[in-house]
Amino acid sequence: DVYSLDFPDDSFDVVYGHQLLQHLGRPVAALEEARRVLKPGGIVAVRDADYGTMVHDPHDPMIDRWLELYHELARHNGAEPDAGRRLGRWVAEAGFEDITTTTSTWTYTSSAAVEGWRALWSNRVLQARMGRSLTEEGFASKVEVAELAAAFDRWAAAPHPFFAFLHGEVLARKPREVASG
């Protein structure tokens, strides 16, 4: 349980979370728990995607629709798909200092990367929980879900497909001294 880690206070030099906070309803509470288990001066390192920065070519309106539905479903579930841009603020709210925020990109252009991205999202919308949730929660019909998967297949089959997006990254420290209140 990320909100109640089974470790004593001041246990670790580093706490790392990759693609985690975007899925949580209370990311600041999770970061506060990370701060609790960090030793004074310890480092928190977090990295999350920012779905709002996703771009693709060739353009397909159904991939735009997939992104819109992903945002709607994630927020319906209490998550934040654009977490990457919020990490610095969340880390500050959790009581960390010496905050450094950077970004990096994931870019899918090689044959293997394109096929991996296509398969990931085609499968997620057709066979995994995401597709079931879209229909069960009334966000999309089964026909539309199938069209979303087909859009990723079309994108991957196009000459020179491109897909990219930012990740927010934050390094910060747990304060060495706790201010007396």
- pLDDT tens for the chain, residues 1 to 181: 999 999 999 999 999 999 999 999 999 999 999 999 999 999 999 999 999 999 999 999 999 999 999 999 999 999 999 999 999 999 999 999 999 999 999 999 999 999 999 999 999 898 888 889 999 999 999 999 999 999 999 999 999 999 999 999 999 999 997 655 4
* Total Cβ atoms within 10 A of residue 99: 15
- Judged by DSSP in three states, 25 sits in coil
- Judged by DSSP in three states, 117 sits in helix
CA pair distance 163, 154, nearest whole angstrom = 13
CA pair distance 18, 38, nearest whole angstrom = 17
Closest by CA position to 156, among listed 56, 54, 85, 78 = 56
Cis peptide before 27 (omega within 30 of 0): no
| 58 DSSP β-pair partners | none
- Per the document, the length of the chain is 181
**Which strand (E) or helix (H) includes residue 108?**
strand 97-108
pLDDT of residue 110: 97
CA pair distance 181, 179, nearest whole angstrom = 6
Cα dihedral 22/24/25/27 (nearest 10): -80
Residue 103 main-chain phi, psi, to 5 deg: -135, 160
pLDDT of residue 40: 98
pLDDT of residue 128: 81
**Inter-residue contact 47 to 19 (CB < 8 Å):** yes
